[in-house]
Amino acid sequence: MLKKLILGVTAAFFFFSLSILTSGTAMGADKTFTFGLLLVGPYNDHGWSQAHFEGGKYVEKMIPDAKMIYIDKVNPADRPGITIPQLVDDMVEKGAKLIIANSDDMKDGTREAARMHPEIHFLHISGDDVLTAKAPKNLSNLMGRMEYGKMMAGFAAAMTTKTGKIGYLGPLVNDETRRLTASCYLGAKYAWEKVLKKDPAKLKFQVTWIGFWFNIPGVTADPTQVALNFFNTGYDVVLSGIDTTEAVVVATQKRKKGKKVWAVPYDYVGACKGGPDVCLGVPYYNWGPGYVNFVKESMTEKWTSKWIWMGLDWNDINNPDTSAVGFEAGPVLSLSAKAALNKFIKDLGTGKAELFKGPLYYQDGTLFLKDGEVATDKKVWYMKQLLKGMSGQSGAK
């Protein structure tokens, strides 16, 4: 697996190849609290990693004594052989008291580093070590309730498609990606059946996985080619579940050739800027408020090991100070679709629209939720398969 590719390099190679980037003023001031950020992709990827980087900048803005150091491109393609504990050792040497690791792929390495440095606090994004009782006392988990954002994305896609064929550009297959992809489908299904009153049999939702969070040539499927395949076979909306912007880029290329297609990117609030002529909107993470809470706990030595699944501020899902997840409507989302989406968002917030409610079945026909049953957090978190009505693999080959 990809995680295993990281292992086995010598310390000499590590210290020769590693470069640490710092943000803000020079470190070492008496009152400075240094926190480190490990990013799986580039800090400016217009996606997942940039959202985390800007969350770190938000911390610096809200807590003047807090300063960030970061290492980006922490993945097997960009840093072959480098381990998370090695990166952590270097950050600790540079004064970091709290280290945030931003990818599920870093789970094992972050846990190992936390045990090696019991005096340092660790925050692992998207993990569940606290839930499974694997976390040492200095390790916490944080994730945003993107399931709601993905429901909005699927809703916008179904309100827009002219062919009834929606493609989902997926990363790798795990619990997280299954539940987010299923959330997109449920949002699309709701719009198609409840709002548009269309025949359920005429909605096609296809999932194609590339094998990682972004393209690694020779390792993953090419997301550009996957997006092209969707558009070339009658899918007119592609939803992205990967960290980068290929869906929007390819849709823009097709639009310039006269094809009526649309895309919904992921992760970063500014992602629509990469394709304003095709972007229906973007579900995005706002890590700043959550980061601020953990930094304050670490600074004041009030740290407790916990698992936090941060929700939305339903009074204003795009409030940067209060909502962990938002949805930025795109320039080409029609006025009627936008009005319907706004009502859908309101209904999600009040519970009137409860999408993880039975009867729902897994892809193989086994029961996921019985009639009238509302899924618990844990049941959603650990989804075992995609849902009935979705096409694509529920697990990795």
Is residue 84 scored above 70 in pLDDT? yes
Per-residue pLDDT of 324-368, as tens digits, reads 999 999 999 999 999 999 999 999 999 999 999 999 999 999 999
- The tokens for 1 are 């697996």
Does 3 score more than 50 pLDDT? no
Q: Between 55 and 3, whose confidence is greater?
A: 55
3-class state of residue 346 by DSSP: helix
208 falls in which pLDDT band (50, 70, 90)? Answer: very high
Tell me the CATH architecture of domain 146-284+327-391: 3-Layer(aba) Sandwich (3.40)
Q: Are 249 and 275 in contact (CB under 8 A)?
A: yes
pLDDT at 19: 41
For residue 30, the model assigns a pLDDT of 60
| pLDDT for 31 | 87
Give the pLDDT score at 396.
75
Residues contacting 382, CB < 8 A, separation 6+ = 175
Place of tokens 């980061």: 291
Gyration radius (Cα) of the chain, Å = 21
pLDDT of residue 76: 87
The per-residue pLDDT for range 137-171, each reduced to its tens digit, is 999 999 999 999 999 999 999 999 999 999 999 99
Rounded to whole angstroms, the Cα distance separating 311 from 323 reads 7
pLDDT at 16 over 50: no
**How many angstroms separate the CA atoms of 236 and 72, rounded?**
34
Q: What's residue 397's pLDDT?
A: 66
What digits encode the pLDDT tens for the residues 164-193? 999 999 999 999 999 999 999 999 999 999
Compute CA distances 322 → 64, 145, 344, 346, whole Å: 19, 13, 20, 17
Question: pLDDT, tens digit, for every residue of 31-64?
Answer: 899 999 999 999 999 999 999 999 999 999 999 9
pLDDT value of position 17: 37
Say if pTM beats, i.e. exceeds, 0.85.
Answer: yes
Residues of the chain with pLDDT > 90: what percent?
91
Overall fold of domain 2-144+287-310: Rossmann fold (3.40.50)
pLDDT at site 21: 53
What is the average pLDDT across 18-39? 66
Mean pLDDT computed over every residue of the chain:
92
| DSSP secondary structure letter of residue 191 | I
Q: pLDDT higher for 334 or 5?
A: 334
How high is the pLDDT of residue 4? 31
CA dihedral 165, 170, 175, 181 (to 10 degrees): -30
Average pLDDT over residues 258-285: 96
Domain segments of the chain as ranges: 2-144+287-310, 146-284+327-391
The whole-number average pLDDT for the span 299-313 is 96
- CATH fold match for the domains 2-144+287-310 and 146-284+327-391: yes
> How many Cβ atoms sit within 10 Å of the Cβ of residue 54?
20
pLDDT of residue 49: 96
User: What is the mean predicted confidence (pLDDT) over 294-314?
Assistant: 96
